[in-house]
Amino acid sequence: MTDDEAEVESGRVLFAGDCTFLLSVARLAQLPAPDLPEVAFIGRSNVGKSSLINALTGRKALAKTSNTPGRTQQLNFFDLGGQLMLVDLPGYGFAKAPKGTVDAWTRLIRDYLRGRPNLIRVNLLIDSRHGIKESDEDFMNMLDKSAVVYQVVLTKTDKLKRGELERLIDATEAKLRPHVAAYPKLFATSSEKGDGLAELRAELATVARTASPGL
C-alpha cells in the first residue's frame, strides 16, 4: 500500500466510525471542553456545508440541510468517534434572518475562530458555480489576520463540465496564493456524486493525527 493509499484508508476508517450530534452553541460560554481536535466548515449561505458533512460521514441526515439560506444559525458540534470534532458553522453572506440575528452569529463565528485553541483546520467552502466572491475574500482576510489555517473546498462540482472545473481550480489557486493562512491544496468535491470526498477525508484524518499523535 502506498502512502497515499494508506492516508485514504485512514480517512475512510475515521469517517466510517460513529458520528453523533453533540450540541448547538449560541454563546461562547456554551462551547464544549476543548478536549478533541476540531475542524470547522464555513462558507456562504447555502454553499452546501451540511450536505458535505453528511456525505463525508456517510449519513443522510446527520446535519440538517435546507434550501433556505441561513438555516444553520448556531455552531453545531458533531463527535466523530471520540477522535475528532466536526463543527458546522452558520453561513455568511445572504441569509433569510433578521439583521440582528445575522450580526450576532457573525460575532460568534469570529470569536470562535479567533480563540478556539483546539481548532486545527477550517474548511472554507466555495460554490463551484460561482467561485470566490467578495464576501469570501473578506472572510479569508479575517482568517489571515487571525492566523487560522484554512483550506478551500469547492462544492457542487458535478454542476460543471470538466473544462470549466479545471479553469475554476486554476483561478481559485491563483487567488489563494496571496493569503498567508491558506493551505496551498484545494479540494474539489461533490456531495451528490462523491467526487473528492476520499481525498478530503484523508487530509482531515492526517491533520487530526498530527494534532493528536495517539489517534
Segments forming the whole domain that contains residue 199: 3-211
Confidence band (pLDDT; 50, 70, 90) for 53? very high
Residue 68's pLDDT is what? 43
Residue 204's pLDDT is what? 97
- According to DSSP, residue 184 is labeled S
- According to DSSP, residue 90 is labeled P
Q: Smallest Cα–Cα separation from 110: which of 75, 77, 155, 80?
A: 75
Residue 3's pLDDT is what? 87
Q: Which residue shows C-alpha cell 458555480?
A: 129
Indicate the number of domains in the chain. Answer: 1
pLDDT in tens, 157-190: 999 999 999 999 999 999 999 999 999 999 999 9
Q: What is the mean pLDDT of the chain?
A: 90
Over range 43-72, report the average pLDDT. 78
Asked if pLDDT for residue 95 goes beyond 60, the answer is no
Could you give the percent of the chain with pLDDT greater than 90?
75
Asked if pLDDT for residue 72 goes beyond 70, the answer is no
Task: Answer whether 205's CB lies under 8 Å from 10's CB.
Answer: yes
Residue 213's pLDDT is what? 66
Residue 90's pLDDT is what? 87
pLDDT in tens, 185-214: 999 999 999 999 999 999 999 999 998 765
Domain at 76, CATH number: 3.40.50.300
Asked if pLDDT for residue 100 goes beyond 80, the answer is no
Task: Answer whether 105's CB lies under 8 Å from 90's CB.
Answer: yes
Confidence band (pLDDT; 50, 70, 90) for 102? low
**DSSP secondary structure string, 29-65?**
GGPPPS-S-EEEEEEBTTSSHHHHHHHHHT-SSSS--
Residue 65's pLDDT is what? 52
Asked if pLDDT for residue 215 goes beyond 60, the answer is no
